[in-house]
Amino acid sequence: MVRKVQSVKSKTKKKSAKTSKEKGVGGAMWGGRFAGGMAPSMEQLSVSLPFDHELYHEDIEGSMAHTLGLVAAGVLTTQERDLMISGLKGILTDLEMGLELFIPSDEDIHMAVERILTERIGDLGKKLHTGRSRNDQVATDFRLYVMRRAEDLVEQIEGLQFVLLKRAKDYRKDLMPGYTHMQQAQPVYIAHYLLSFFYALERDKSRLEHAWETAGEMPLGSGALAGSAFPYKRDLVAARLGFPHVTRNSIDATSHRDFALEFLGALNCLGVLLSSYAEDFVIWSTSEFGFLKLGEAYTSGSSMMPQKRNPDSMELVRGKAGRMLGAYTRLFTVLKGLPHAYDRDLQEDKEPVFDAAETAEVCLQVMTEVVATMEFQCKAILKKMQPALLATDLADLLVEKGMPFRDAHHVVGKLIGEAESKGVSFLDLPAKSWKDVPNAAVLRKKLTFVASAERRNIQGGTGSQSIAAQIKEAESLLK
């Protein structure tokens, strides 16, 4: 999602130039009971426009919907509503075009929009905030933001899943060593590995969908904390904004940000997942492994060592998971122990969420492109596969011959130990070493990587029939 807006940082950083009539930041909006303005240091602390301008879309849409509620409450005529809506639409269009509408005395996005509206449509603009507080307004904007980002991210995850599915089909017949503890463990098809990523992402989508639902209650009508005094049609406003529900308690509505925590929780599960696949791709693209070639566009060179082609894309995705975790901790820490209802601490809720959402978005994009362009080096991988990957298969074959599994494990373990001390593959040990293995010659022939994989057609296993079923299910999930 591209969100264009003027760069407000430079504008709002300047100390506001106060005239005797003006009261500086926010003063024109709430300064009735104040003799003077804020101290410059306090302004610097207070101003949130440099980051909450990100909510301009939600804020303006929220205000447009609010006018519907005000008509129903008898506060606005339909003509006034139409004038307000067209004024708000004009502001939205101008901001989308990148026009610089904000001024240093705008405290936050809510006040900025109201000021611009009043300047454009006159005194009518002053009626907009009837029955509303910035407390229910900001909660509404922020919930809408979370819902939209959650929707966008779900769509992006599906893009990554689509690519993973395609690559799984590309590598249906190619084997690799599966690892546990980063030691070669058992043969698996590369497709199986790629589908593990696909299915984990399925849960990330459902976590985001749940965060969407939690955010999907509209606070407008809650006022500052006690509820609006006007007979405001909350359902009408909620429907207009795409909220499936309205909040059921005005203190709850204005105080709590658990929907944002849930969203960050979902993003962090995703971030950690991406980081762990990124880590595999980093290791596998080393010359020691040589399993994977990353697309050149996702690697970078060294300023000193001409031979280097570093997997920076995947290292950054790995690193960004730490950044997202920071956002999660940051919001939790702000919220801990806050008294009810609204406290200004809550202004600190937005930046971590914006940052984590944007980070997740770019990480997903890069990961999708990396998966689409990476090339497994299938021949080199086969060469690195150690025969000991088949040790479990030999034990399983002995079990089929009636040997209890513990005994089979012991017999094979001895073979492997002997092979290791002699520096050969257990398959190359002489017949006398295999004396405890009944029917050894026949069993040995059954010990191939393909046979190992194909013994595992159990649901969810790496056998090719199981993979076909996984692919089929994956296809239906993406439909």
Task: List the catalytic residues.
Answer: 181, 302
Stretch that binds ligand ARG, among 131-139, 313-321, 440-448, 452-460 (CB under 6 A): 131-139
Tokens of 397: 């074959």
Residue 470 as a binder of ligand ARG (CB under 6 A): the answer is: no
The radius of gyration of the chain's CA atoms, rounded to the nearest angstrom, is 30
Site string for ligand ARG, 265-294 (x = CB under 6 A): ------------------------------
3-state secondary structure string, 417-443? HHHHHHCCCHHHCCHHHHCCCCCHHHH
Tokens of 396: 């399983």
Stretch that binds ligand ARG, among 150-158, 190-198, 340-348, 432-440 (CB under 6 A): 340-348
Stretch that binds ligand ARG, among 61-69, 98-106, 121-129, 130-138 (CB under 6 A): 130-138
Task: Determine the Cα–Cα distance for residues 241 and 176; give it in Å rounded to an integer.
Answer: 50
Tell me how crowded residue 210 is: count the other CB atoms within 10 A of its CB.
Answer: 15
Which is closer to ligand ARG, CB of 48 or CB of 275?
48
Which is closer to ligand ARG, CB of 48 or CB of 313?
48
**Shortest Cβ 48–ligand ARG spacing (Å):** 4
Tell me how crowded residue 230 is: count the other CB atoms within 10 A of its CB.
Answer: 17
Residue 432 as a binder of ligand ARG (CB under 6 A): the answer is: no
**Shortest Cβ 108–ligand ARG spacing (Å):** 4
Residue 354 as a binder of ligand ARG (CB under 6 A): the answer is: no
Residue 346 as a binder of ligand ARG (CB under 6 A): the answer is: yes
Residue 108 as a binder of ligand ARG (CB under 6 A): the answer is: yes
Q: Are 104 and 11 in contact (CB under 8 A)?
A: yes
Site string for ligand ARG, 134-153 (x = CB under 6 A): xx--x---------------
Q: Which of residues 43-102 bind ligand ARG (CB under 6 A)?
A: 48, 52
Which is closer to ligand ARG, CB of 52 or CB of 217?
52
Stretch that binds ligand ARG, among 294-302, 343-351, 420-428, 462-470 (CB under 6 A): 343-351
Specify the DSSP element, H or E, that contains 177: strand 175-180
Stretch that binds ligand ARG, among 132-140, 303-311, 407-415, 460-468 (CB under 6 A): 132-140
- Which one of residues 342, 426, 434, 449 is an interface residue with ligand ARG (CB under 6 A)? 342
**Shortest Cβ 271–ligand ARG spacing (Å):** 25
Q: Are 237 and 65 in contact (CB under 8 A)?
A: yes
Q: Number of residues in contact with ligand ARG, rule: CB under 6 A?
A: 10
Angle between helices 464-478 and 190-215 (to 10 degrees): 30
Would you put residue 217 in left (φ > 0), alpha (ψ -120 to 50) or beta?
beta
Question: CA angle, corner 389, sides to 384 and 393, nearest 5?
Answer: 150
**Shortest Cβ 139–ligand ARG spacing (Å):** 9
What letter represents residue 21's amino acid?
A: K
Q: Are 318 and 279 in contact (CB under 8 A)?
A: yes
Task: Determine the Cα–Cα distance for residues 86 and 25; give it in Å rounded to an integer.
Answer: 27
Which is closer to ligand ARG, CB of 192 or CB of 257?
257
**Shortest Cβ 62–ligand ARG spacing (Å):** 12
- Which one of residues 33, 248, 336, 344 is an interface residue with ligand ARG (CB under 6 A)? 344
- List C-alpha distances in Å: 274 to 146, 359, 421: 21, 12, 39
Helices (H), 176-304: 190-215, 234-241, 250-255, 258-284
Query: Comparing C-alpha atoms, which of 145, 153, 146 is closest to residue 365?
Result: 153
Which stretches of the chain bind ligand ARG, using CB under 6 A? 48, 52, 108, 134-135, 138, 342, 344, 346-347
